[in-house]
Amino acid sequence: MFNYTGKLKNSQDPQRLSGLEIYKTVYLCDSPTLFERLGGRNNKTPRQKWSVGYTPKVTESRQTEDQLTRDMLASTASFINCVSGINGDSPTEITRVDIDEVVQSLLSNNAYTIMDNIRGEDRFGTAPVRNAYFALCSTDLTSSLDSVNGFTQVNQYPAPMNALQSEWGAVGNLRFLISSIGSVTYNASNKTKDVYNVFCVGMEAYACIEQDGYSASFIYRPPIYDGPLALNASVGYKFAEVPRITNDLWVLNLRCTL
CB of 198 to another protein, least distance (A): 14
Left if phi > 0, otherwise alpha if psi is -120 to 50, otherwise beta: which for 187? left
**Shortest approach of another protein to residue 83 CB, angstroms?**
5
Q: How many CB atoms lie within 10 A of CB 130?
A: 19
Tell me the closest approach of the beta carbon of residue 78 to another protein, in angstroms: 5
The count of residues in the chain is: 258
DSSP class of residue 112 equals P
In the bound state with another protein, the residue whose beta carbon lies nearer, of 61 and 152, is: 61
8 versus 68: smaller Cβ distance to another protein: 68
Of the two residues 8 and 127, which places its CB atom closer to another protein in the complex? 8
Write down the least CB distance from residue 189 to another protein, Å.
5
3-state secondary structure 138-195: EHHHHHHHHCCCCCEEHHHCCCHHHCCCCEEEEECCEEEEEECCCCEECCCCCCCCCE
How many CB atoms sit inside 10 A of residue 37's CB? Answer: 14
Shortest Cβ 9–another protein spacing (Å): 11
Closest to another protein by CB, 55 vs 152, is 55
By three-state DSSP, how is residue 4 classified? strand
Binding site for another protein (CB under 8 A): 11, 13-20, 68, 71-72, 74-83, 89-92, 186-192, 195, 242-245, 248-249
Q: Is residue 79 within a helix (H) or strand (E), and if so which, with residue range?
A: strand 79-81
Sorted by sequence, the CB contacts under 8 Å of residue 106 that are 6+ apart come out as: 133, 173, 200, 202, 250, 252
Q: Which residue lies nearer to another protein by CB, 13 or 122?
A: 13
> Minimum distance from CB of 190 to another protein (Å)?
3
Contact of 152 with 127, CB cutoff 8 Å: yes
Q: Is 62 helix (H, G, I), strand (E, B) or coil?
A: helix
Please say which residue, 164 or 242, places its beta carbon nearer to another protein.
Answer: 242
Name the minimum Å distance from CB 242 to another protein. Answer: 5
CA 32 to mean position of chain CA atoms:
23
Toward another protein, which CB reaches closer, 37 or 193? 193
